[in-house]
Every structure is written in C-alpha cells, then in structure tokens.
Amino acid sequence: MSDPIYAIGDIHGQRAWLEELLERVDRDGGPGARLVLLGDLVDRGPDSRGVIDLLIAEAAAGRNMTVLAGNHDVMFRRFLADATVHDANIKSGLPWPHRRLGGLATLQSYGVDVDERRPMEEIHADTLAAVPEAHAAFLAGLPYWLESGDKLFVHAGIVPGVALQDQRIDDLIWIRDAFYEAAQDLPWLVVHGHTALEAPRHFGPRIDLDSGAGYGRMPTAARLEGHAAWVLEADGPRPLPVEPEEPEETGTADQG
C-alpha cells in the first residue's frame, strides 16, 4: 500500500484550529507527511489573513503540502481583481461581502473598514492597500484539483463524464447534486469539502471533510490509506466508517 495522504477540510478563517490540525498531522504522520487542503481558507471565521499567513509560512518552510482553491477563495480573489461581489452560483443573489457569505469577516481580518455606509469602491481600494501582494499571489496560484493514484482531491466535486482538464472552474468549486448522484461511477475515491455536515462522512465513493468551520465547528483532518480513512482527533486517529449515501446538508447552495 502507498504512503498515507492527509487531508484537511474547509478552514474558513479559523487559524487557531488550523494550527491544531497541522500539529495532529505531524503527530500522526511525521513532519514529512503529504497533506492536501481542500479549499475555503477564508470567509466567516475571525482570521482569514492569519490562515493565509500560516500557509505561506508552512510552504516556505518546506511542508509537503498542496492547497486547493475553494469557492470562497475564488470570490475573494475576484474581489481583489476587479471589485466583483456577485456570483451567479449564489442563488440568493447576495454579494460576497454580505455577512452570510463571510466576505466582511475576511476584509475585517485585514483591517479594512467595512461600514455599510461606505461606497464599495472605497472598500475595494482599502482592500488593495491592505492585502499583501504575497497573499494575492498565493490565492491566484491555488490549483483546483489534485489526482493521486486512485484518489481525487477537489473542493466541491466534478461533472461526471468530463475529463479533468476540461472541467469548468465553477463546477470544481460549486457543484453538489450532479456530482453526488454519480460519484459511484467515477474512477477515484473523491475527497472533497464544500457541503458542511455536522461531522465528516465517508459515503464509499466520496468523503466529505467539511465539518462546518464556517458555522463555528472544529474543521477536520483525516488520514487516507487506500479507500480507508481515519479522522485525527485530539486523542488520536478514529476510523471513519463507510455509510449510506444520505448526507444531511447544513450548508446551502447560496452559502457554500
């Protein structure tokens, strides 16, 4: 059997919890353990800036790590690029800076004044001044998927029947139902986040590691060996059993 791969689900601006999960990975697999983060680094939590600072530092220190892009990371990146605040995938029509989506928390973590009376162009200008170039470059360089043997790591999922290189970015970071309904026909075990559950779940052909950091719950780190998985708890690894494909979603398509 190949060496284990570790994966961490959606972080959503929770730096302190990310630090704890990195320590758990190191304790279980050693400092050279291969690690994949599944995206949604920012929004909702209190320290999106700190999360990106930490990951940049970990990469510079040589951690064996791949960080994928999630839909919230892309929304932040698009706001930085041209002040875009709307995304057609958000069914409610709410803008990214809205508190439900969490963009305000990200901007506040950079010290930006987000008073609702301020014009968005002023907030955008202040954001460009406040966000380090290294952070913008980090976000711009995030890949959307990682294939490793019989496992595929991606933030949300893929469109069945479409080659990886032909997948639309919006599907890789936003898709839900079409992917869930056909996951059993894919050639990989797909490890993803995006849909917040009360706890991580292993559905057989896919594993959802988004345990709700965006809603104040501890994010998840897991060890993957073959198609088996263990959740890294504070007191050690716990097997993640395979269960029927009946997820109870606590996130929504417009909050993702």
- The per-residue pLDDT for range 106-130, each reduced to its tens digit, is 999 999 999 989 999 999 999 999 9
> At 142, which amino acid appears?
L
pLDDT per residue as tens digits for the range 200-240: 999 999 999 999 999 999 999 999 999 999 999 999 999 99
In a domain? residue 8 = no
In a domain? residue 12 = no
Number of domains comprising the chain: 1
In a domain? residue 114 = yes
> At 229, which amino acid appears?
A
In a domain? residue 52 = yes
Task: Residue 116: give its domain's CATH number.
Answer: 3.60.21.10
CB-based contact 227:207 (threshold 8 Å): no
pLDDT number for residue 1? 55
In a domain? residue 42 = yes
User: What confidence tier does 254 reach under pLDDT thresholds 50, 70, 90?
Assistant: very low
In a domain? residue 51 = yes
Reported pTM: 0.94
> At 105, which amino acid appears?
A
Mean pLDDT of the chain: 94
Angle at 153 between CA 224 and CA 255, to 5 degrees: 115
In a domain? residue 76 = yes
Sheet holding 34-37, edge to edge: 65-67, 34-37, 5-8, 221-225, 228-233, 236-239
Distances in whole angstroms, Cα of residue 210 to Cα of each of 90, 133, 216: 19, 29, 12
pLDDT per residue as tens digits for the range 6-36: 999 999 999 999 999 999 999 999 989 999 9
Q: Which domain holds residue 230?
A: 23-239
Terminal alpha carbon distance of the chain: 35
In a domain? residue 83 = yes
pLDDT over threshold 70, residue 55? yes
